[in-house]
Copies of this chain bind each other. A is one copy, B any other.
């Protein structure tokens, strides 16, 4: 397996995928055409517009992009892809579309068989066992919450620390994940913006400059340093 699961596509004051461009050249074979999964449609933009955005960033790493919606048979396209990138947006929509287009299993098979994979935000969320630690609104009812399971835990992208000065009574991210653990047993990795998980040779490593927060059922959450192995977290 060869994959990057990034918390976010974009850092503050940067362009789309800017901080990940050096990683793209390492992840994908030189000048390959990467299949882009635009299903999550951030802000509701069209598949075409979203694909153009991804293409303009990938160009900087000498890579081409073709949108999955441009293929006649989506599952075949995934099967034959030399590289795959799933962009962010709404995870409920992404997962619904992956099932509707019968791509979920093909995507899992492809990545497990070694097709290089990049996910950002929702595209990272689906790398976990289930999509149940997404931050997104349930704007559509998916046939299942089960996702790719590239890692033996769940991921919370865009992880946000509680704001000690907030007077808002909505749940903090930590409280939400605690509620998840009342009903579910798998660990959750809170991945801050700028962090990513590198999956390589069956190893999982935290990358980027920040620590990540690990949540396990019935345990006190803790931080792990960048370059830590998360291979045995399950």
Q: A: which residues have CB within 8 A of B?
A: 8-13, 41-44, 89-90, 92-93, 131-141, 144-145, 158, 160, 167-171, 175-184, 193
Contact = CB atoms under 8 A, between A and B. Distances in A.
A176 B137 contact: yes
B44 A140 contact: no
A171 B181 CA distance: 24
Given A10-B169, A160-B168, A145 B137 contact: no
B138 A44 contact: no
Q: Top 4 closest A-B pairs, CB basis?
A: A44-B182, A12-B167, A158-B170, A137-B176
Contacts of A11: 169
A175 to B, nearest CB: 6
What is the copy number of this chain in the assembly? 2
A8 B145 CA distance: 28
Nearest to A173: B137
A168 B179 contact: no
Contacts of A140: 132, 183
A1 B140 CA distance: 29
Given A168-B158, A168-B193, A179 B10 contact: no
